[in-house]
Amino acid sequence: MKGTKEMSNQTRLAETRNTKNLGDSRQTIIGITFGVIQVVLALRLGFKLLGSNPNNQFVGGIYSVTKYIVSLFEVIFDPILIKISGISVIFEPATLISMMVFGLIGWVAMKTFAPRSFHRYERTRYIDDSFDEDEE
């Protein structure tokens, strides 16, 4: 049969390329930002519960950085003074509430910027392996 080519004489070369999701870098930035906020608030909560010295530079720095975040929620509950074995510690519900609120905001932001679809491109070409000298 002249003019027809057999598929067995062809080689299929396929190149597959996955595109990078644009949401990845945004999610990374959001995750790091809200993660740092959560860690600093957790440090504040722990320092308050352990009765740390607020005059210490590190502890005072944590308190001063987080006071703006926690002040949004201080009017909801008063701090609770707890006495354990003669030691007084302070539990701040405002810090715990701010951790929950900022955790929720971070989660919503991560879901908002999540990649919606994944694109995959495939380019295929066929190379004819046969060389027919009779067809000239």
Per-residue pLDDT of the chain (136 residues; tens, 9 = 90+): 444 445 556 666 666 665 555 557 888 899 999 999 999 999 999 999 888 888 999 999 999 999 999 999 988 888 888 887 887 888 899 999 999 999 999 999 988 877 665 556 566 666 666 655 555 4
pTM: 0.66
Task: Determine, yes or no, domain membership for 94.
Answer: yes
pLDDT at 111: 87
Q: What is the pLDDT of residue 52?
A: 87
Residue 68 lies in a domain: yes
Structural domain includes residue 10: no
Specify whether the CB–CB gap between 129 and 10 falls below 8 A: yes
Residue 47: give the domain boundaries: 21-113
> What backbone phi and psi angles, to 5 degrees, belong to 127?
-115, 130
Contacts of 79 (CB under 8 A, 6+ apart): 48, 90, 91, 92, 93, 94
Q: Is residue 127 part of a domain?
A: no
Burial class of residue 92 in the structure, from the number of CB atoms within 10 Å of its CB (0-12 exposed, 13-18 middle, 19+ buried): buried
User: Is 9 within the bounds of a domain?
Assistant: no
Structure tokens at 125: 């070409």
For residues 82 and 41, give the distance between their C-alpha atoms in angstroms, rounded to a whole number.
20
**Where do the H-state alpha helices sit in the chain?**
23-50, 57-71, 93-112
Q: How far apart are the first and last CA of the chain?
A: 15
Would you say residue 130 lies in a domain?
no
Q: Indicate whether 84 belongs to any domain.
A: yes
Q: Is residue 59 part of a domain?
A: yes
Domain count across the chain: 1
